[in-house]
Amino acid sequence: MEIAYDERGIDWLKEAAERGIVQAQLVLAEHYLNGDGVPQDESMALRLFTQAYEHGHVGAMVKIAELYLDAGPVPLDYEQAFRCFRQAASDGDPEGHYRVACMYFDGLGVPQQFDCAFKHFEIAAGLGVARASWRLGQFFRDGLLGDPDYQRALECFQRAAGDDVWEASVDLGEMYLAGKGVAKDSRKAREYFKSAGAKGNGDAQYMLGRMYCLGLELGKDHKRACFWLDLAVENNHARAMTLLGSMYLLGIGVDQDFGQAKKLFDQASLLEEPDAIAKLAWIYQTGRGVPADAAQALNLAQKSSELGSAYGAYLLGDLYFYGVSGEKDSQAALKAYVLAAERGYAPALVKVAEMFRDGSGVPVDETQAYELFLRAASSGSRKGQVELARIHAGRNSREDFVQAYKWYSIAATGSDDLSNSAKKERDQLRKKMDNKSILEAQRLASTAWDSNITSI
């Protein structure tokens, strides 16, 4: 239990510290560190922690090391911090081992060495540091020292989660959501996210919001999505800001509000969230809630693409392709679209396919176009599915009514204009097919659907 000290209590602590009472030195050091009852003085805190260590308190060396990690009266010095943590570890302090491992992992004060980090995380976990078990789980999950070992990762995460390491609960939730190393179980994933989210973990709150927003195997619930995303935003979670901003932008689960959307994207962009910057670029391109500004849109799209946003690269391609901010530049557009496609953005595959089909800035290449439409369709692009169906429905060397009907059927599952077009074209095609072929096409569509080829 934390004890509040008045002026007399502080005087008593000072006298006890001068007499060499270790606990008094530690408590008084914390008071100086926080400016609690005494003027804030990191140098005095360092002196008292050093005295406590010299009197045999091993854990005081960890406190000394921490002072070198924050720029203040005690100069920032990662190398000195590492030496202090290593000394604490040599003295057998569990937290010392954990902090040495973290510095080896991050390459702070010492060259990055995953094998040394693993060794110290393992020692710390054996000495009861729960967060060390969580970090070991990440080593096993990500295969940082060899092949991934999901079973050992699961065991480490479960042990850490049982000791209230909420980040481990998030990692467990993600394993169950993706079915990575365990049977896919979205309900179990949700329970892990809830346990961490209820304790204030922003990552868990974001994942819950995302699950409810996108209906990841649980059905969509936009009200609950907003509830959890709001909590994550309060925790300064950039991706939650971006997703909630997108909901305001489109009026999903909330009244459409371009001003609120931009406010959230602005917040996330300050945290260098790539997709939020891309969304801002779109707002300036289209003039939604702000005066249209093509130059600003281009600058933001370039920045988001440089930071790794697939959507940002796609938007950059559009700006070049249509010449929104100047001359059309098909080569720059193609480069940006290809980058977006490499990052997994299926609509970019469609754009590149269309360029090869139409000869827009590149020589016509129907084979390349077909292969790209197929990749886009298989990745879930409704536009790709419709274009692929149209190729198979046409009078050409790829005419195949069964394949055309299959892709039309998959694309027709939505409720937008493109899905409605797919329904109409499928029903027109059906008039040219016999019942046996229709049944075969329906079977293929169902199999593809069950294999997680969905429409976006």
- Taking residues 233-254, what's their average pLDDT? 97
CB under 8 Å to 240, separation ≥6 — which residues?
202, 205, 206, 209, 229, 232, 233
Phi, then psi, of 288 in degrees rounded to 5: -85, 105
- How many angstroms from the chain centroid is the CA of residue 11? 50
> Does position 217 have pLDDT exceeding 80, yes or no?
no
N- to C-terminal Cα distance for the chain? 54
3-state class percentages of the chain: helix first, strand second, coil last, to nearest 5: 70, 0, 30
**Token code pair at residue 408:** 């039309």
Q: CA dist 187 to 163, 177, 454, Å?
A: 22, 8, 21
In tens, the pLDDT along 55-72 reads: 777 778 888 888 888 866
Q: What is the share, in percent, of the chain residues with pLDDT greater than 90?
A: 74
**Burial class of 451 by CB neighbour count within 10 A (0 to 12, 13 to 18, 19+):** exposed
Residue 1 has pLDDT above 50, yes or no: no
Rounded distance, CA 304 to CA 283, Å?
14
Nearest to 385 by CA among 340, 439, 421, 332: 421
pLDDT of residue 324: 86
**Residue 219: its pLDDT value, please?**
79
Model confidence pLDDT, tens digit, residues 343-361: 999 999 999 999 999 999 8
Q: Which amino acid, residue 69?
A: L
Give which of 283, 202, 196 is closest to 238, Cα–Cα: 202
Q: How far is CA 288 from CA 182, 292, 293, 295, 323, in A?
A: 44, 8, 11, 15, 19
Residue range 418-440: average pLDDT?
Answer: 95
Angle at 59 between CA 54 and CA 65, to 5 degrees: 85
pLDDT for residue 398 is more than 80: yes
Average pLDDT over residues 431-450: 92
> Of all residues in the chain, what percent carry a pLDDT higher than 70?
95
279-319 confidence digits (pLDDT tens): 999 999 999 989 999 999 999 999 999 999 999 999 999 99
